[in-house]
Amino acid sequence: MSSYQSIVSEAMTLAQEAFEIYQKVSGKKRAEFLVAIAEEIESLRDALVATAHQETNLPFPRLNGEIGRTTGQLKMFAQLVAEGSWVEATIDSPNAERVPPKPDTRKMLVPIGPVVVFGASNFPFAFSTAGGDTASALASGSSVVIKGHSAHARTSELVFSAIQKAIKRCGLHPQTVQHLLGAGAEVGRALILHPNTTAVGFTGSQAGGKALQSYAQQREIPIPIYAEMSSINPVVLFPETLTLNAASLAKTFAGSITLGMGQFCTKPGLLFAIESEGLSSFMAYLQTEISQAPLHKMLHLGIAKAYNTAVETMVQQAGVGVVTNTRTSDDEQTPFPTIAKVSSKAFIANPTLHEEAFGPYALIVVCEDKNDLANTLKNLKGQLTATLMATDDDIKNYQEIVALQTSLAGRVILNAPPTGVEVTASMVHGGAYPSTFDAKYTSVGTSAIKRWVKPICLQGFRDWMLPDELKNDNPLKIWRIVDNVFQQ
């Protein structure tokens, strides 16, 4: 057994041991733990921001905001599990008169077991060590083994030190959360192949997600890989709004495309519109706006180089023209925001143009008319988001386009850019392949907890044997479905 295999094996053995204890910890106590993690992170804020800035080049205000988002998520899941109704407790009463007699059956969601979380490169806090995957898994009652991202290893270790303090404060099993580092695919592969692993959370590239999925398919017992991979986030700019609002649309999308140097899975990468004067003036405004966008270094040199290569490839494709390619920096880690354009015909014919280019790049696809626009959208794959920039009349006049956009993505947005993902109960940050492997789940918002649970039905149990969630007198006062009626 090589050294990384024995490290993984030991971690997963301890994760199982910790799970057997942690799964019995009450929702209220889990909530205290999540709040304690948030507090310990807050107390390290200055060191965290400084370290993350060194490792990722992300600006201070962004990193400060991301810490707020991270602690906010932890507190949101704390509220969810302290309240407790999320377990979907469902009770059907027995009926001894029926032939055959109807038994007493009660159902609730329970944690599945040790979960492995892979940190993302582009969110050193909110989608990493104590990010949404970890927070939702701990809320569910699962133990967690984190594979920290090597691009911000010191930040990850610092966040983990906050988690460890919270574990001590709350008197939990010391291995309720564990943290592994290590570049290369070996540690990740060993984590996925270990029999104690029951599910995986991942945010990253399509190649990375597919690799994890291929490891999972080598297992005897299959496990889900909840991977949030790639999305080009199609935006339709409808005719009337283009005529009326070309300048403000350009301002909005220049901001959205260059925000955080385009290093968001929700960056709008494709803009669809019907050829018109409105579109021409939108492109002219966009050129100006993009040229004024503030720039900063990308996460690391590798990402910057990959961006340059991707953009060069895109603009060399048949029929692709450059709208703007703002060369304003001599620093090789700072990207040139680039907008290209192409006809719908050339777009449909060329799969390369359907790929994500991670960075401040977008492609405008110029369609001939309504039918051509519909036909073009039919060629798109699953997406995290789909955006409609439209007046009320646009919506009324283009129902087929609205339906097509709605069928593509987990989140459909009217008149706002897709960047900016609210952390709420109604959020869906997920979508059909290749944006994720399973359109049923979200990695943001309270529903993210559903990835780490399974239902269990207890039949004929006496009241004293039941967990509190399912006892007759509902001691937790949670919302339940009793004989098909919602009640508290």
Q: How many angstroms from the chain centroid is the CA of residue 163?
A: 21
Q: How many angstroms from the chain centroid is the CA of residue 484?
A: 33
Q: Mark residue 477 as left, alpha or beta (left: phi above 0; alpha: psi -120 to 50; beta: remaining).
A: left
Which residues within the stretch 359-418 sit at the binding site for its own copies (CB under 8 A)?
381-382, 392, 395, 406, 409-416
Please select the residue that binds its own copies; options are 458, 468, 471, 474, rule is CB under 8 A.
458
Helix or strand (DSSP H, E) at 151? none
Which residues within the stretch 198-217 sit at the binding site for its own copies (CB under 8 A)?
217
- The least distance separating its own copies from the CB of residue 30, rounded to whole angstroms, comes to 18
Please select the residue that binds its own copies; options are 9, 26, 64, 85, rule is CB under 8 A.
85
| Gap between the Cα atoms of 286 and 292, Å rounded | 10
Please select the residue that binds its own copies; options are 422, 463, 472, 477, rule is CB under 8 A.
422
What positions carry a catalytic annotation? 228, 265
Q: Mark residue 141 as left, alpha or beta (left: phi above 0; alpha: psi -120 to 50; beta: remaining).
A: left
Please select the residue that binds its own copies; options are 208, 453, 469, 476, rule is CB under 8 A.
453
Sheet containing 225-228: order of strands: 177-180, 144-147, 115-118, 199-203, 225-228
- The least distance separating its own copies from the CB of residue 112, rounded to whole angstroms, comes to 7
| Structure tokens that stand for 319 in this block | 């029929």
Q: Is 248 in the site for its own copies (CB under 8 A)?
A: no
Please select the residue that binds its own copies; options are 135, 246, 428, 476, rule is CB under 8 A.
428
Which residues within the stretch 92-121 sit at the binding site for its own copies (CB under 8 A)?
92, 100, 102-103, 105-107, 112
- In terms of Cβ atoms closer than 10 Å to its own Cβ (0-12, 13-18, 19+), residue 464 is exposed
Burial string for 380-389 (b: 16+ CB within 10 Å, else e) reads: bebbbbbbbb
Radius of gyration of the chain (CA): 24
82-89, long-range: CB < 8 A, 24+ apart: 82/27, 82/28, 82/31, 83/27, 83/478, 84/27, 84/469, 84/476, 84/478, 85/478, 85/479, 85/480, 86/446, 86/449, 87/469, 87/478, 88/455, 88/481, 89/469, 89/470, 89/478, 89/479, 89/480, 89/481
- The least distance separating its own copies from the CB of residue 390, rounded to whole angstroms, comes to 10
**Residue whose tokens read 């991979």:** 229
Question: Quick one: 2 or 488, whose CB is closer to its own copies?
Answer: 488
Q: How many CB atoms lie within 10 A of CB 196?
A: 20
- The least distance separating its own copies from the CB of residue 483, rounded to whole angstroms, comes to 8
Hey, CA dihedral for 50, 54, 56, 62, is it positive or negative? positive
Q: Is 184 in the site for its own copies (CB under 8 A)?
A: no
| Gap between the Cα atoms of 346 and 352, Å rounded | 11
Question: Quick one: 158 or 401, whose CB is closer to its own copies?
Answer: 401
Please select the residue that binds its own copies; options are 43, 244, 460, 472, rule is CB under 8 A.
460
- The least distance separating its own copies from the CB of residue 354, rounded to whole angstroms, comes to 13
Please select the residue that binds its own copies; options are 439, 468, 471, 474, rule is CB under 8 A.
439
Question: Quick one: 376 or 447, whose CB is closer to its own copies?
Answer: 447
Question: Quick one: 330 or 486, whose CB is closer to its own copies?
Answer: 486
Say which amino acid occupies 346. Answer: A
Q: Is 425 in the site for its own copies (CB under 8 A)?
A: yes
- The least distance separating its own copies from the CB of residue 90, rounded to whole angstroms, comes to 4
Please select the residue that binds its own copies; options are 64, 317, 334, 433, rule is CB under 8 A.
433
* 317, 350 contact by CB (below 8 A): yes
Question: Quick one: 54 or 415, whose CB is closer to its own copies?
Answer: 415
Question: Quick one: 30 or 480, whose CB is closer to its own copies?
Answer: 480
- The least distance separating its own copies from the CB of residue 228, rounded to whole angstroms, comes to 14
List the one residue out of 336, 271, 331 whose CA is nearest residue 301: 331
Question: Quick one: 2 or 484, whose CB is closer to its own copies?
Answer: 484
| Gap between the Cα atoms of 283 and 170, Å rounded | 56
Question: Quick one: 162 or 413, whose CB is closer to its own copies?
Answer: 413
The site for its own copies (CB under 8 A) is made up of: 79, 85, 90-92, 100, 102-103, 105-107, 112, 217, 221-222, 224, 381-382, 392, 395, 406, 409-416, 420, 422, 424-428, 430, 432-434, 437-440, 442, 447, 453-462, 465, 479, 481, 484, 486, 488
